[in-house]
Structure 1
Amino acid sequence: MGNQPIIELRAVTKSFGPVDVLKGVDFAAHAGRVTALVGDNGAGKSTLIKGLAGVQPYDGGEVLFEGERVHLGHPRDAAKHGIEVVYQDLALCDNLDIVQNMFLGREERRLGTFEEGQMEVEAAAALQSLSVKTVKSLRQKVSSLSGGQRQTVAIARAVVKQASVVILDEPTAALGVAQTAQVLALVRRLADHGVAVIMISHNLQDVFEVADDVSVLYLGTMTARVEVAKTTREDVVGYITGTKTMEAVA
């Protein structure tokens, strides 16, 4: 890859009581690329992501943003650096419409009132930039949307916030074949816009379809960091199960 990562972790650690969950983990994500983070249950993926989100700060190690050391001690710190997380539950409000969800907590205001027109324009622009054509109306209640459409709204919300790093937690979980294809295309377009996308996934078919790089955690240790084009599913399964190791590739 060669270019400087937009976000980089160096030897980060995290323990809960006597349990070492992250054991000196190195990780990097580059602008314009999709980095898949994979590993079995209990490997440390969620803990790694919560540290990046500022929800559970790391105990040790370094976090670098665009080459500069930063401290992610609170979600506000992550947001300040343009790090957005789309969790598996999506954190959408069913009783609100698409625009209201995309601006939830950061509504545009003027003289104490919401700028509904401005927010609608910005929401439409975000969806258009991602070539989203599956949403009929920006004023649809989220409760009326399909799983794929809900995921689309959650991802577009990160675009509205002008995120530089977007972390997707199992973005295709519980989706059908057609909706999965739509969401993966959206993930690819997000990276093509220059965003560093980190995708947590158990689905290796999705990983090999959309990711540029794959990082594999095994029991709190990064056992592989490799370009997808230079590995195979069989090798990745080996890294996930601990039957295969490799020299980390930057």
Structure 2
Amino acid sequence: MDQKGAGLMTTETKPQHAAEVAGDEPVLQARGLVKLFGRVVGLRGVDVDLYPGEVLAVIGDNGAGKSTLIKCLSGALTPDQGTIRIDDRTVSFGSTQDAREAGVETVYQNLAVAPALDIASNMFLGREIRRRGVLGSVLRMVDKPAMREQAKQFISELGITTLQNIDQAVETLSGGQRQVVAVARAGAFGSKVVILDEPTAALGVRETGQVLKLVRDLRDRGLGVILISHNMPNVFETADRIHIQRLGGMAGVITPQSHSMEDAVAIMTGAKTLSPDEWHQRG
């Protein structure tokens, strides 16, 4: 995306509070997702509902199908069966770029930032704003001042105070600051859904708090956020609803108000079973 502005959200184009956009219709809906890897079942008939202005946590033990589910929703994998809908429109993602064009942004554990580039360049990585006229269309020259200005504006709107110098190289940032850059980039371009895979892994307490605040800020701007995490306190502090995966299937959907962390672990391990009537399809 080379157009000026490149989809970066502003206060005029993005709601400031989830209540302004929260409705009865999910922004992302998946039904009956199945993914097979030879004889290994990655997903077996998984359903997902994500609403605007909501943080939906996805938890589960190793091998539960969390990563496979996220890759199917983000275009990294194509499900063998099932449907995915964005804003009540059936979509078929052949790549992560297809998902991005539909408004779904994903931040994986490896971050995919370019350490040698500055913060502004990383914010627009793969979506650089080109200079006007022949310089941009023919010579493909990048409009660095425009990218710096828009990146600075968005970081300011999100209330991010840990990134003081937009021209600072990412390789000089701490792990938490790098994660903030990656999450902020996803929020800037994800017009509907942001998927975060273990965003607080290997972070200290203070940096974890900064990232979780940013997650809540994205939710409050009306985005649907999917949060994958092994950290139960983080999940229960941040999520509106919690989708539990077990052995490739869906073990239940709970809320921090309806169940405890001990309940969540018991459901993950199979020690406790929920009936479909107990599932919180909407928080």
Q: TM-score range by the shorter chain?
A: over 0.9
Q: Is the 8 A contact 1:23 1:220 kept in 2?
A: yes
Q: Is the 8 A contact 1:122 1:160 kept in 2?
A: no
- Hey, what does 2:234 align to over in structure 1? 206
Distance in structure 2 (CA, Å) of the matches to 1:221 and 1:33: 22
How far the C-alpha of 1:47 sits from its partner, in A, is 0.5
The question of 1:122 aligning with 2:150 is answered: yes
For 1:29-40, what aligned pairs fall within 5 Å after superposition?
Answer: 29-40=50-61
Q: Which runs of 5+ in 1 are unaligned?
A: none
The question of 1:68 aligning with 2:89 is answered: yes
Q: 1:95 aligns with which of 116, 141, 149?
A: 116
Distance in structure 2 (CA, Å) of the matches to 1:26 and 1:60: 12
How far the C-alpha of 1:234 sits from its partner, in A, is 1.2
- Hey, what does 2:71 align to over in structure 1? 50
Distance in structure 1 (CA, Å) of the matches to 2:187 and 2:245: 28
Q: 1:138 aligns with which of 143, 158, 166?
A: 166
Distance in structure 1 (CA, Å) of the matches to 2:23 and 2:177: 36
Report the residue type matching 1:161 in the other structure: F
Distance in structure 1 (CA, Å) of the matches to 2:190 and 2:38: 37
Distance in structure 2 (CA, Å) of the matches to 1:34 and 1:198: 6
How far the C-alpha of 1:129 sits from its partner, in A, is 1.8
Distance in structure 2 (CA, Å) of the matches to 1:229 and 1:72: 34
Distance in structure 2 (CA, Å) of the matches to 1:228 and 1:5: 20
TM-score (norm 1): 0.97
Q: % of aligned pairs identical?
A: 47
Q: Is the 8 A contact 1:35 1:197 kept in 2?
A: yes
Q: Is the 8 A contact 1:167 1:197 kept in 2?
A: yes
**For this pair of structures, how many residues does the alignment match?**
250
Runs of at least 4 residues off by over 4 Å: none
How far the C-alpha of 1:105 sits from its partner, in A, is 1.1
CA root-mean-square deviation: 1.2
Q: Which runs of 5+ in 2 are unaligned?
A: 1-21
- Hey, what does 1:9 align to over in structure 2? 30
How far the C-alpha of 1:163 sits from its partner, in A, is 3.0
Q: Give the SS at the match of 2:42.
A: strand
Q: Provide, for residues 88-132 of structure 1, a one-character-per-residue CA deviation record: whole Å limited to 9, x for no partner.
A: 111111111101111111100022221111111110121112110
How far the C-alpha of 1:227 sits from its partner, in A, is 2.4
Q: 2:247 aligns with which of 182, 205, 219?
A: 219
